[in-house]
Amino acid sequence: MRWRRLFIVLVLNACLLACAGPQAGLLNVTRPAKDADQITLIAATTRAPVEDPAVLYGGERGASVSYTRIRISVPPNRKAGTLELPRRSPGDPERTFAATSITPIKREDIAAAFRAPGAHKRRAFVFVHGYSTTFDRAVFRFAQLVHDSDADAVPILFSWPSRGRFLDYKRDLDNASYSRSDLANLLEAAIDSQSINEVVVLAHSMGAWLTVEAIRQVALRRGGVPSKVSSLILASPDLDVGVFRRQVEDMGPKRPKITIFVARNDLALRLSRFIARGDARLGGIDPSQEDYRQALSDLQGVTVLDLSALSSGDRVNHALFATSPEAVRLIGDRLVQGQQISDADVARPTTAVDAIGAAATFAVAAPILIFDMATSQ
């Protein structure tokens, strides 16, 4: 009965959010605001193209991967972590995010597209979105994250055919599975590119399952994950804990540093748990609990960040990685640079404390708690 009530509450919340959200199709091109910052990203998608230029790619499977260069104007005088989407297309670049340029990229030109001006932009920052996300929402979210994190990297969006509808969970999962070889191929293209010397991957929600599967596939092909892939960030991963452990084990010892953002109050993952009729999803665990410490114990290079105490504009606590300025700062300052987060990155002076037994290390005065799962015995 408790689960049934929770399910009804979550459905109503999701429906209210969907009804209150902006209209579909927001990618009509407009002129940028004067002196506005602009983010140029490469989008690779397994979605089928559509005729409406405001939509560009829909929620059905494409016959092949399509590549597009998209420039997004970021509205001035906004707070980090906010995503001001237009109510109609094109958006007003003075007040909302807006597309200012969209250019198709031929498959044979994708290697050249990886080359970005600037000596420091030899790092690829790959983002894989989650469930119930349309193409335009994925583009705007990634542009916001790249801008707010000040990521010094070539931004690459991988967009799989999510239908962007709340009740299409099973179809979204099938479409994510459909796309894993294409994501693996994209990652290998970045790995093999002489223009890129480091690859950082951030995956959200259902996109985390797809991404870990793709990296596992790369590892099985190549006898481990190539060292160019320095960091894997899983934000609110909609992924079974045991499946995740097996996927990481299959990668072998040659694998990237893995950082997992979790929130015990993530309502979307509670709903996913109800749909899956299983245990808590990886992004919704309490990493201080013995069961989860044991499940993830001795996984070297796996760090869990508990964001449960953060507050942001995300009413379901499922996008804290992008809506919380604290989380965005850690992504840009540390994780995109391939560095591991420590207590010093989140703790105020003199606030770091000892671990709970030998299970984990964390800082209590900061809103983000850090757990090194390799110390969980």
Chunked into runs of 10 residues, the chain (377 residues) has average pLDDT values of 52 47 78 90 97 96 97 93 92 94 94 73 93 96 96 95 90 96 97 94 98 98 96 96 95 95 92 79 93 88 92 82 92 82 56 36 59 68
Please tell me the predicted confidence (pLDDT) of residue 152: 87
Distances from the Cα of 336 to the Cα of 154, 199, 282, angstroms: 11, 9, 22
Please tell me the predicted confidence (pLDDT) of residue 358: 35
Complete edge-to-edge strand list for the sheet that includes strand 257-262: 98-105, 57-74, 37-49, 154-159, 123-128, 198-204, 229-235, 257-262, 302-306, 369-372
Please tell me the predicted confidence (pLDDT) of residue 166: 82
Please tell me the predicted confidence (pLDDT) of residue 375: 64
Please tell me the predicted confidence (pLDDT) of residue 20: 43
Measured distance CA(28)–CA(172) in Å, rounded: 25
Tell me the two tokens of residue 233: 């960030």
- Residues whose CB falls within 8 Å of the CB of residue 169, separated by 6 or more in sequence, listed in order: 131, 132, 272, 275
Tell me the two tokens of residue 157: 């969006």
- What 3-state class would DSSP assign to 292? helix
Q: Residue 112, class by beta-carbon neighbours within 10 Å (0-12 exposed, 13-18 middle, 19+ buried)?
A: exposed
Question: Residue 349: how many CA atoms within 13 Å on its side-chain side?
Answer: 0
The dihedrals phi and psi of 370, each to the nearest 5 degrees, come to -110, 130
User: What is the distance, to the nearest Å, from the Cα of residue 122 to the centroid of all Cα atoms in its chain?
Assistant: 20
Please tell me the predicted confidence (pLDDT) of residue 48: 98
> Contact, 123 vs 332, CB < 8 A?
no
> Contact, 158 vs 126, CB < 8 A?
yes
Measured distance CA(182)–CA(190) in Å, rounded: 13
Burial 303-337 (b: 16+ CB within 10 A, else e): bbbbbbebebebebbbbbbbbbebbbbbbbebbbb
Tell me the pTM.
0.89
Measured distance CA(169)–CA(268) in Å, rounded: 11
Please tell me the predicted confidence (pLDDT) of residue 307: 94
207, 267, 200, 214: which is closest to 238 by C-alpha?
Answer: 207
